Amino acid sequence: MNLTVFLPALLKGALVTLEATLLSAAVALVVSVVVGLVRLSRFRLLRGAALVYVEIFRGTSALVQLFYFFFVLPIFGIDLSPMAAGVIALGLNFGSYGSEVVRAAVLNVPRGQHEAAVALNYPPGLAMRRIIFPQALAAMLPPFGNLLIDLLKATSLLSLITIGDLTFAGKSLVQSQGHVTAIYTLVLVFYFVMALMLGRLMQAAERRVPGATAGGGR
């Protein structure tokens, strides 16, 4: 077996994996916050629509969603590049889980904080932006960290829609070079190291957001 062939190919794949992870995470983050807040909105119709989205994307399989975006959407004339289809599908899938994280974290901010905002005459949007959301953020980060690592792992599915990620690179190497055990072990180790790095990154982020819990009233 020839590491000088394996490693560059796997590294190239790992970069694609990283790119896909970060892009999907960006989509998922935006979706999480928007949908999570809409789920708490005063408008029933909006709330209902958000709930339907969440239930559909949590209720079906990520891989099925991915295939839907890749194989079915082109039938309707929506022709996305594989990467775009993958990033959108994973972003929406993880956004549905993330929106629940946002919702729960916002709901967990003590009632006294809402009341203080009313007493200081904050309009609802401003209260959310300046008072409630910043406090909820601390509670969101640990579950977001877990989701990010799940997302990293889920990007391996992108290899099934022709994206040349780490998994794809491993599969191609196996096909051209053999050495199944060595290559798949290496691929696993690559993912593991990336997961550890992302975990560290999120821990660092957590330390920078003050654990906004003490003295918050009830």
Q: Interface with another protein by CB under 8 A: which residues? A: 55-56, 58-65, 67-68, 71-72, 75-76, 110, 112-113, 115-116, 118-123, 126, 130-131, 134-135, 149, 153-154, 156-157, 159-160, 167, 170-171, 174, 180-181, 184-185, 187-188, 191-192, 195-196, 210, 212-218
Which CB, 7 or 126, lies closer to another protein? Answer: 126
Which CB, 17 or 32, lies closer to another protein? Answer: 17
HEC readout, 84-126: HHHHHHHHHHHHHHHHHHHHHHHHCCCHHHHHHHHHCCCCHHH
Which among 183, 160, 200 has a CA at the least distance from the CA of 71?
160
Cβ(83)–Cβ(64) below 8 Å: no
| Residue 48, CB-side half-sphere exposure with 13 Å CA sphere | 3
Alpha-carbon torsion angle 87, 157, 61, 34, nearest 10 = -20
Distance of closest approach, residue 111 Cβ to another protein, in angstroms: 9
Distance of closest approach, residue 67 Cβ to another protein, in angstroms: 6
Distance of closest approach, residue 5 Cβ to another protein, in angstroms: 19
Distance of closest approach, residue 149 Cβ to another protein, in angstroms: 7
Which CB, 31 or 149, lies closer to another protein? Answer: 149
Which CB, 8 or 217, lies closer to another protein? Answer: 217
